[in-house]
């Protein structure tokens, strides 16, 4: 790799917010433990907010955005990694507090990365990215009913926002784990795709948007909720005794209109899922399970690959809810 590399650089000058693909020198970065040639990144909602105006998440400029990436180690100052190791980075506030993945090159702290499992490649890792990683965290949270709490088998599972980046992977993973998945979506036209992912039943999200009962009919052994609001409140009300509701999103709102009744009469557990502050041990476990739970040939049908320049044109569509695809960023395209 030459001493020059391409990256998206964000800058704030007065009231002007700037975003452009620039050619930079490797000495652009300060000191770090591991130097990496990046293969792929992806587009998350947080990335789109940052690309628009910093999303109130970037504190210092200029900044290279991109909260995820995968690639190959070029140089390492630590024993944990060596030249040629393929690695994955998600979370850790990269792309916000630190330079991120919309670049052909990165220098990061060793604690930010893990070695990629041999069973998947760097492209597949970013087909999942933070969204897929979060989905797998949620799937294992739901399964904790039987594995940690030693409860009854998890059979009936509800996944909200099922056509989204988290929801679609959760549908597939939970199906592979042996659950009967009911997918909630506002895009009924995507029914065939959801069934291909493994969903047994499809529910229109309108059916869960009304104010919830204190305690609804118990329908679900577990729930993966990606949207929040009344949909989450209804899901909690409909969860069976000892069921686990894994919550990781707020697309339908930050407020939660519920009561203590499902928690004290049915022992329902509300399990918050955060994908940023996750231990390396847990990251390694989750990524190690990905190849067993994900059919990448199916997932790839919903993936669109773009260059850094194309990313700058397409990211507003995510903020407007108009993207039908998972966006994979080939930084070398």
Q: Which domain holds residue 41?
A: 4-116+299-330
* Same domain for 143 and 233: yes
Question: Is 50 inside any structural domain?
Answer: yes
Q: Percent of the chain at pLDDT above 70? A: 100
Predicted local distance difference test score (pLDDT) of residue 1: 58
Kindly report, residue by residue over 256-304, the tens digit of the pLDDT: 999 999 999 999 999 999 999 899 999 999 999 999 999 999 999 889 9
* Same domain for 226 and 264: yes
Among the candidates 255, 272, 289, a domain finishes at 272
CA 283 distance to own-chain centroid: 13
Predicted local distance difference test score (pLDDT) of residue 294: 96
Question: Is 252 inside any structural domain?
Answer: yes
Query: Is the per-residue pLDDT at 252 higher than 80?
Result: no
The CATH number covering residue 263 comes to 3.40.50.720
The CATH number covering residue 44 comes to 3.90.180.10
The two most distant CA atoms of the chain are separated, in Å, by 63
Name residue 239's beta-bridge partners: 220
* Same domain for 23 and 134: no
Question: Is 182 inside any structural domain?
Answer: yes
- To the question of pTM greater than 0.75 for the whole model, the response is yes
What region does 58 belong to: left with phi over 0, alpha with psi -120 to 50, or beta? beta
Query: Is the per-residue pLDDT at 140 higher than 80?
Result: yes
Among the candidates 232, 253, 272, a domain finishes at 272
- Total number of domains constituting the chain: 2
Confidence of residue 13 (pLDDT cuts 50, 70, 90): confident
Predicted local distance difference test score (pLDDT) of residue 147: 81
Instruction: For the chain, give the mean pLDDT.
Output: 94
* Same domain for 315 and 193: no
Predicted local distance difference test score (pLDDT) of residue 325: 82
Dist CA 248 CA 46 (whole Å)? 13
On the 0-12 / 13-18 / 19+ scale of CB atoms within 10 A, 221 is buried
- For the residues 65-85, what does the mean pLDDT come to? 97
Kindly report, residue by residue over 23-47, the tens digit of the pLDDT: 999 989 988 899 999 999 999 999 9
């Amino acid at each position: 790799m030459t001493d020059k590399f391409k990256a998206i650089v964000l800058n704030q000058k007065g009231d002007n917010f700037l975003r452009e693909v620039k050619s930079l020198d490797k000495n652009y970065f300060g000191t770090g433990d591991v130097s990496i040639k990046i293969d792929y990144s992806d587009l998350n909602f947080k990335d789109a907010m940052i690309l628009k105006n910093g999303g109130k998440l970037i504190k210092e400029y200029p900044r290279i955005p991109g909260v995820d990436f995968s690639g190959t180690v070029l140089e390492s100052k630590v024993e944990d990694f060596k030249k040629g190791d393929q690695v994955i980075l998600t979370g850790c506030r990269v792309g916000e507090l630190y330079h991120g993945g919309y670049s052909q090159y990165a220098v990061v702290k060793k604690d930010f990365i893990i070695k990629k499992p041999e069973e998947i490649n760097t492209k597949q890792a970013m087909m999942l990215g933070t969204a897929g990683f979060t989905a797998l965290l949620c799937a294992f949270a739901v399964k904790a009913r039987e594995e940690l709490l030693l409860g009854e088998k998890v059979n009936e599972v509800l996944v909200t926002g099922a056509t989204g980046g988290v929801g679609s992977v959760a549908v597939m993973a939970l199906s592979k784990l042996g659950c009967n998945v009911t997918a909630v979506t506002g895009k009924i036209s995507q029914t065939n795709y959801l069934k291909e992912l493994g969903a047994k039943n499809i529910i229109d999200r309108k059916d869960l948007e009304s104010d919830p009962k204190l305690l609804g009919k118990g329908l679900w052994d577990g729930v993966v909720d990606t949207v929040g609001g009344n949909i989450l409140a209804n899901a909690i009300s409909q969860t069976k005794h000892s069921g686990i509701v894994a919550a990781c999103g707020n697309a339908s709102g930050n407020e939660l209109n519920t009561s203590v009744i499902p928690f004290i009469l049915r022992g329902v557990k509300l399990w918050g899922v955060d994908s940023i502050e996750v231990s390396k041990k847990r990251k390694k476990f989750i990524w190690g399970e990905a190849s067993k739970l994900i059919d990448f040939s199916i997932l790839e049908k919903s993936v669109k690959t773009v260059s850094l320049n194309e990313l700058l044109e397409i990211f507003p569509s995510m903020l407007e809810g108009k993207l039908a695809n998972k966006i994979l960023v080939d930084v070398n395209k």
